[in-house]
Amino acid sequence: MKSTLKLIGASTAASVIAMSAAAQDPVSLTIVSWGGAYTASQVRAYHEPWMEMNPHVTIINDDGSANALASLRAQSQAGNVTWDLVDMLPSDAQLACDEGIILQIDHDEMLAPAPDGTPASEDFLPGSLGECFIPQIVYSTVLTFRPDAFADDNQPSSIADLFDVENFPGRRALQDRPGTNLEWALYADGVDPDDIYDVLSTPEGVDRAFDKLDTIKDHIVFWTEGAQAPQLLADGEVAFATGYNGRMFDAIEVEGMNAEIIWDGQVVEWDGWVVPADGPNVEVVLDYLYFATDTQRLADQAKFISYGPARASSAPLVSTHADLGIDMNPHMPTAPENYFAPIILDNDFWVDYGDELRERFANWMLQ
């Protein structure tokens, strides 16, 4: 899709006051993200407060994250890097880092410590920081179902139920890629969440996962774009759908869709920032990052979308939804009552085995 450019200007009054105070040259930052509700949450939680403090800066939003790695590569090869900051998945960030097209991050140097002085490298959730990657949120892929598709005394409650077409008939909407699906197939087949990637890195383990998927193959509808999953559920085309927890939250709480989330086996992943090397305004961007990834800002983002902040110190600050006024804590993937059987997505595994498994999965879908 063509990226939509949206210009956000700081309020004139604020800029006049600040201009006279600081009188800096105007700068415009191009920040690339996923668009939709997600970009909107970043605009309200990060961009707007920061632009108020730095009126000489204008932020331009570009919805290019879906193909960000390819674009970054092309920009870098052409020697004309136009992006300042990119929102990316950690596996892509790792590849970009290996290629040397994004900045290495010294987390304690470049990021704010927690309010109690804990350095950033200890405050961010364990395993979330990457060599070139600054996490913002924890999101998860969850299973969602329509309660009205099943009898009241026979409601699904686990990933195993997704693979049980006898007791829970109906079509299932799964994403058209191997990630999450293979993990769930093994989990439903009795593999412990901690062992899933060990099993999946053996050829027998891959066969086992595909065999399990075969059992529901005739009942699967595949979706591609994040928005399709809640749509399929809302239209009644499917009884189960997998999807991103933020979109499902939006569909259920904001749009009033009749559906419920099953938190069992939620596949948890990070999402965050990378800084293109040779970007036009690296210094300004680092200044922005210091602000936008501090404890309060990460907690603020959860007011607008149900993704969990990546800092431990942000969790107690998560409050209510900015428009609905409901408490956001129970909707976070990391809330204790939801986090009972998480599968932590292993990015190293997917960087290593992704190509091979994607090919096999594509073939499996066709057969």
Residue 115's identity, in one-letter code, is: P
Q: How far is the CB of 40 from other proteins (least distance, A)?
A: 25
**Residue 35 or 309 with smaller CB distance to other proteins:** 35
Instruction: Please give the Cα distance from 231 to 225 (Å, whole number).
Output: 10
Q: How far is the CB of 68 from other proteins (least distance, A)?
A: 10
**Residue 90 or 309 with smaller CB distance to other proteins:** 90
Q: How far is the CB of 234 from other proteins (least distance, A)?
A: 12
Which residue from 199, 179, 175 is spatially nearest to 189, judged by alpha carbons?
Answer: 199
**Residue 184 or 223 with smaller CB distance to other proteins:** 223
Residue 6's identity, in one-letter code, is: K
CB-CB contact of 311 with 298 (8 Å): yes
Contacts with 325 (C-beta within 8 Å, 6 or more apart), sequence order: none
CA 85 and chain centroid, separation: 16
Chain length of the chain: 367
**Residue 326 or 362 with smaller CB distance to other proteins:** 362
Q: Which residues bind other proteins (CB under 8 A)?
A: 67, 69-70, 73, 95, 97-100, 104, 176, 201, 222, 235, 237, 277, 348, 351-356, 358-360, 362-366
**Residue 100 or 127 with smaller CB distance to other proteins:** 100
* Cα 179–Cα 180–Cα 183 angle in degrees, nearest 5: 105
Q: How far is the CB of 251 from other proteins (least distance, A)?
A: 18
Q: How far is the CB of 355 from other proteins (least distance, A)?
A: 6
**Residue 253 or 352 with smaller CB distance to other proteins:** 352
CA distance from start to end of the chain? 29
DSSP 43: I
Tokens 């999101």 belong to: 139
**Residue 99 or 108 with smaller CB distance to other proteins:** 99
Q: How far is the CB of 7 from other proteins (least distance, A)?
A: 25
Provide the pairing of β-strand 260-274 with 343-344: parallel
CB-CB contact of 69 with 77 (8 Å): no
**Residue 89 or 252 with smaller CB distance to other proteins:** 89
CB-CB contact of 271 with 42 (8 Å): no
Q: How far is the CB of 41 from other proteins (least distance, A)?
A: 25
Which residues are paired to 23 by β-bridges?
none
Q: How far is the CB of 182 from other proteins (least distance, A)?
A: 14
Contacts with 117 (C-beta within 8 Å, 6 or more apart), sequence order: none
**Residue 56 or 358 with smaller CB distance to other proteins:** 358
DSSP 112: P
**Residue 101 or 143 with smaller CB distance to other proteins:** 101
* DSSP H or E stretch at residue 110: helix 107-110
Q: How far is the CB of 352 from other proteins (least distance, A)?
A: 4
CB-CB contact of 265 with 158 (8 Å): yes
Buried b (16+ CB within 10 A) or exposed e, 90-120: bbbbbbbbeeebbbebebeebbbbbeeeeeb
Q: How far is the CB of 268 from other proteins (least distance, A)?
A: 21
For residue 2, how many C-alpha atoms fall within 13 Å in the half-sphere facing its CB? 3
